[in-house]
Amino acid sequence: MISIRPAQFPQWLQALADEQSGVKPMVLDVREPWEFQMASVKPDDGFDLVQMPMRSIPARYLELDRNRPIACLCHHGARSAQVVHFLMQQGFEQVVNVHGGIHAWSQERDPSVPVY
């Protein structure tokens, strides 16, 4: 499994842009809805943000595009790592874990994201 730190996220996006022109990556936030409401990353032109709680992934993963790069995000990185593992077992190849989760995102990329 590949993991990236939030500080490495811009380089990950750039590498994807260099390799796959026109493909927009996705951040898959697998936290619970109350967590998502409390703190969330801000999508921009470089990626889309999709919220899908971890418990719903087995029933909903077919909604995800297998050909689209996905960075999975949770609170600290444990749940998202499980989702990455699950998606890889389902044949997804371009999926990474955001190590440290939204907590690290706040510390390394965007201090306006609340820490909880």
- Does 74 participate in catalysis according to the annotation? yes
Alpha-carbon distance of 79 to 73, in angstroms, equals 8
Pairing between β-strand 70-73 and β-strand 48-51 as defined by DSSP bridges: unpaired
**The 26-29 sheet, strands edge to edge:** 2-4, 95-98, 70-73, 26-29, 48-51
Which is catalytic among the residues 28, 74, 84, 104? Answer: 74
Which residues are catalytically annotated? 74
